[in-house]
Amino acid sequence: MSNPIRIGIAGLGTVGAGLIKIIQKNSNILEARAGKPIKIIAVSALSKSKDRGVDLTAYEWEDDPIALAKRDDIDVFVELIGGESGQAKKATEEAIKHGKHVVTANKAMLAIHGQELASAAENSGVNLRFEAAVAGGIPVIKTLTESLAGNNITRIMGVMNGTCNYILTRMEDTGLAYEEIFEEANQLGFLEADPNLDVGGIDAAHKLVLLSSIAYGTQVDFNGAILEGIGRITIEDIKAASEMGYRIKLLGVSSLSDSGLSQTMRPCLVPLTSPLAQLNGGTNMIIIEGDAVGQIVLRGAGAGEGPTASAVIADILDIARGINIPVFGQPANSLIKVPAISTSVENSFYLRLNLKDEAGILAKVSAALANAGISIDRIRQEGHEKDAAPVIIVTHPTDRDTLNKAISEIEETSAAIDPPVVLRIESV
């Protein structure tokens, strides 16, 4: 029998416990597929006494994940602590320094520190794998780094946060306001401890920038991504979108042009006939477009014990098989740094404005759009609310920078009571 691949697991939350369950339950299958046994040597977490629903008695315990990362008797350090820095980053760095392969589900750490960690891993001759960090059980990292490696990727888009998709879907299904469904999601345990990571688009943007780096051969640039959450989406927006043949999704879109890299995570309108519009609940979907393959769609569970642990074990198996691929699909020192841009594509936009109920106000809005060279496709007034006149405008295709200029002029006229809701209408 070949020598086992020995692993240490730091972090025994939902995913860590799920990983141990898979290794305990499927040990014979894993050994057959890896060509060697997968053996857990030691584990680490905040509490040794907590009941996690798995038997840990066969494994050694380390209170300190950094001590676990340095152990001479492990080959692979599995980091499931989470967080962009702190112990997660320190333990990962120590594991790499001590010649250990690293498997992580930590999207925040890689979105912020991915370039330096990739360089460190490649310089040390070890793997740093992170399939579980993006879209849970969907094998999108492997798809980009392996299956589509011969393609010039032209665009990536997708729904990458199941909590936001759940909230928007439930709003449409129930007719309830955002605040009510937000609380429902919170009671069900769907939200992060800091809810803004979900509803603010941060979690999803972490995933998008990692995919962009692999797809375009660029350095990870989270700071260059443009983020807008779903907090200002109302049931009126959802109803209006549906009446026009669209659904609202928190959509990540990235593309590379001669001008730079566009990475946006914003609520958008997508056609009811598109695969994205059919996505309900907490499911994720990633659409990848390449020059040779055309468009492919990957869909599945974006989080949860089983799906995410499944992605972690897949990375461990690849390491056991001797597969060694650069962290972002090509050597870290070849990844290029490019300017961040808003977008290189023109789209139609949906605008909901809460205007003052005064004579000539709508003319000021129309003039501001006309001054920016933006023509109106359709416009409708939604009745009156006290001294306000809600108005919905759909523009003909324009770029976001031009639209922003028009919105600035609208705001300077004091025609609007509050900032407009602006949603890109995305072609899929």
CATH H-level, domain 147-302+335-341: superfamily: Dihydrodipicolinate Reductase; domain 2 (3.30.360.10)
Residue type, 327: V
Look at strands 153-159 and 283-290 and give their pairing.
antiparallel
Domain with CATH 3.40.50.720 in the chain: 5-133
Q: Give the tokens for residue 96.
A: 């790499």
pLDDT for residue 405: 93
H-helix segments, 81-136: 86-97, 107-124
Look at strands 101-104 and 76-79 and give their pairing.
parallel
pLDDT for residue 193: 80
Pick from 42-51, 169-178, 217-226, 373-382: least confident = 373-382
pLDDT for residue 1: 55
pLDDT band at 160 (very low <50, low <70, confident <90, very high): very high
pLDDT band at 275 (very low <50, low <70, confident <90, very high): very high
Q: What is the pLDDT of residues 195-241, one digit of tens each?
A: 899 999 999 999 999 999 999 999 999 999 999 999 999 999 999 99
Domain with CATH 3.30.70.260 in the chain: 348-425
How far apart (Å, rounded) are the C-alpha atoms in residues 298 and 239?
28
Tokens 């936009």 -> residue? 349
* 3-class SS of residue 319: helix
pLDDT tops 60 at residue 273: yes
pLDDT band at 385 (very low <50, low <70, confident <90, very high): low
Closest CA to 93 of 69, 75, 122, 110: 69
Q: Is 356 a catalytic residue?
A: no
pLDDT tops 90 at residue 381: no
pLDDT for residue 191: 81
Beta bridge partners of 353: 391
Domain with CATH 3.30.360.10 in the chain: 147-302+335-341
pLDDT tops 90 at residue 30: yes
pLDDT tops 90 at residue 74: yes
How far apart (Å, rounded) are the C-alpha atoms in residues 79 and 44?
10
Fold exhibited by the domain 348-425: Alpha-Beta Plaits (3.30.70)
pTM for the whole structure: 0.94
DSSP-derived letter for residue 334 is: G
pLDDT tops 80 at residue 33: yes
Q: What is the pLDDT of residues 99-149, one digit of tens each?
A: 999 999 999 999 999 999 999 999 999 999 999 999 989 999 999 999 999
Q: In what order do the strands lie in the sheet with 128-129?
A: 60-62, 38-44, 5-10, 76-79, 101-104, 128-129
Q: Give the tokens for residue 219.
A: 């350095």
Average pLDDT, integer, range 263-271: 96
* 3-class SS of residue 192: coil
Q: What is the pLDDT of residues 320-351, one digit of tens each?
A: 999 999 999 999 999 999 999 987 678 999 99
Q: What is the CA radius of gyration of the chain?
A: 24
Residue type, 286: I
Average pLDDT, integer, range 13-32: 96
234 alpha carbon, distance to own chain's centre: 23
Closest CA to 93 of 18, 23, 14, 10: 10
Q: Which CATH code fits 5-133?
A: 3.40.50.720
Provide DSSP, 219-285: ---STT-EE--STT--HHHHHHHHHTTEEEEEEEEEEEETTEEEEEEEEEEEETTSTGGG--TTEEE
Helix, strand, coil % in the chain, rounded to nearest 5: 40, 25, 35
Q: Give the tokens for residue 59.
A: 């494994």
What's the CA angle centered on 101, arms 97 and 106, to 5 degrees? 95
Q: Of 70, 107, 207, 249, which residue is the catalytic one? A: 207
Provide DSSP, 236-251: HHHHHHHHTTEEEEEE
Q: What is the pLDDT of residues 164-197, one digit of tens each?
A: 999 999 999 999 999 999 999 888 878 888 889 9
CB 165 within 8 A of CB 279: yes
pLDDT for residue 344: 65
45 alpha carbon, distance to own chain's centre: 26
Mean per-residue pLDDT over the chain, rounded: 94
Sign of CA dihedral 67, 77, 189, 423: positive
